[in-house]
Amino acid sequence: MQKLIRYLAISMIAMGISNSYASNATQVKVNAIHSNYAQTKYPIIFVHGVAGFSRVGSDPLGVDYWHQILPDLARNGANVWAARLSPFNSNEIRGEQLLQQTEEILAITGAQKVNFIAHSQGGPTSRYVAAMKPDAVASLTSVSGTHKGSPVASLLMKSNGTILGHAGIAMTNFFSAATVWAQGLDPKSYPHDAAAAGHSISVEGSAQFNAQFPMGVPTTACGEGAYQENGIYLYSFSGTQPVTNLLDPLDLMFGGTSLIVDPKGDNDGMVSRCSAKFGRTIRDNLYWNHADEVNQVLGLRSIFAPNPVDIYRQHANRLKLQGL
């Protein structure tokens, strides 16, 4: 079945682009390395979520999805890469893109494996690669992954097939293409499918994906998953505070969507604490919303919240000490 899924994914990519697919994963380099604190054995690939990107714009006004996180890791010895995937598409399509980028990074670096650190939809996207090529993955760390789906996506998918739904999908696909263009890439090089993305991160779509790719997903409602499968170490952490800084323009949105995710709270505005559970849970109560988890917008967060840059650096050291 997995071979069939991969064949269909590759076929859909081929139909969705005019030129051969260019992966364009980017390595983060710095002028000086200050320590080897984050120097893992294997390269680290950061995998963005839905609506994500590697970097939009150029210096000095360019914006990184993983704000300030990747350069800090590089300064502390890590070999860090940022994946560039379709901002809106299915787990399988994005997974095929990530698989190609992983193979290219292995060829460039000479490494045998990689460590994935993935946010939101990046979680199941990375799980696809771990299932298709487990011998190339040393660890997979999920940051508020949509492993059991988001009720926000489920609600939006109910309009699919209506005039409003068609308009929303068209607008989202346009935004997806614009995001790719803003990275200096040809929008036609990446297929855009908002409906497929919405289904993949919905509760219903996630259940279907988990039936095919169960690695690391808890078998209970809110328990932990396996700590290791197929030689791959599995970790997760997540935030549970939708509103953290009123100066952050995204906080108002997360405050509203949090009521859809879980009216009692216990979510980051998009993903519930239980849905984010994956493998070994490091922290599932960080004072972050869904954007704070990648240090956005531009580092705005609560004064009570830990600095995401510090948390990722500490996790890289955890991987290093694990021999990964």
Q: What is the pLDDT of residues 157-187, one digit of tens each?
A: 998 888 888 899 999 999 999 999 999 889 9
Q: Is the confidence at residue 221, as pLDDT, over 60?
A: yes
- Cβ atoms 52, 123 nearer than 8 A: no
Answer yes or no: 206 catalytic.
no
Does the pTM surpass 0.75? The reply is: yes
DSSP string of 197-259, one letter each residue: HHHHTSHHHHHHHHHH--TT--SSSS----SEETTEEEEEEEE--S---TTSTTHHHHHHHHH
- Cβ atoms 283, 240 nearer than 8 A: no
* Confidence band of 312 (pLDDT split at 50, 70, 90): very high
* Confidence band of 6 (pLDDT split at 50, 70, 90): low
* Confidence band of 280 (pLDDT split at 50, 70, 90): very high
Out of 30-34, 57-61, 313-317, give the one with best mean pLDDT.
313-317
Q: What is the pLDDT of residues 189-214, one digit of tens each?
A: 999 999 999 999 999 999 999 999 99
Question: Does the N-terminal peptide bond of residue 297 adopt cis geometry, omega within 30 degrees of 0?
Answer: yes
Phi, psi of 100 (to 5 degrees): -65, -40
- Cβ atoms 69, 309 nearer than 8 A: yes
**Active-site residue, selected from the candidate residues 23, 54, 90, 120:** 120
Answer yes or no: 192 catalytic.
no
**Active-site residue, selected from the candidate residues 72, 251, 268, 284:** 268
- Mean pLDDT, residues 250-262: 95
- Mean pLDDT, residues 75-92: 97
**Bridge-partner residues for 44, per DSSP?**
80, 115
DSSP secondary-structure letter at 300? Answer: -
Q: Provide the mean pLDDT of the chain.
A: 92
pLDDT score recorded for residue 160 = 82
Q: What is the pLDDT of residues 9-25, one digit of tens each?
A: 544 444 444 333 445 78
Answer yes or no: 290 catalytic.
yes
Q: What is the pLDDT of residues 85-135, one digit of tens each?
A: 999 999 999 999 999 999 999 999 999 999 999 999 999 999 999 999 999
Q: Which one has a higher pLDDT value, 16 or 58?
A: 58
pLDDT score recorded for residue 22 = 43
pLDDT score recorded for residue 20 = 39
Q: Which range (59-63, 108-112, 126-130, 310-314) has the least confidence?
A: 59-63
pLDDT score recorded for residue 3 = 52
Q: How far is CA 224 from CA 37, 129, 272, 298, 321, in A?
A: 28, 21, 14, 31, 22
Q: How large a percentage of the chain has pLDDT more than 90?
A: 82
pLDDT score recorded for residue 164 = 83
**Active-site residue, selected from the candidate residues 67, 147, 290, 315:** 290
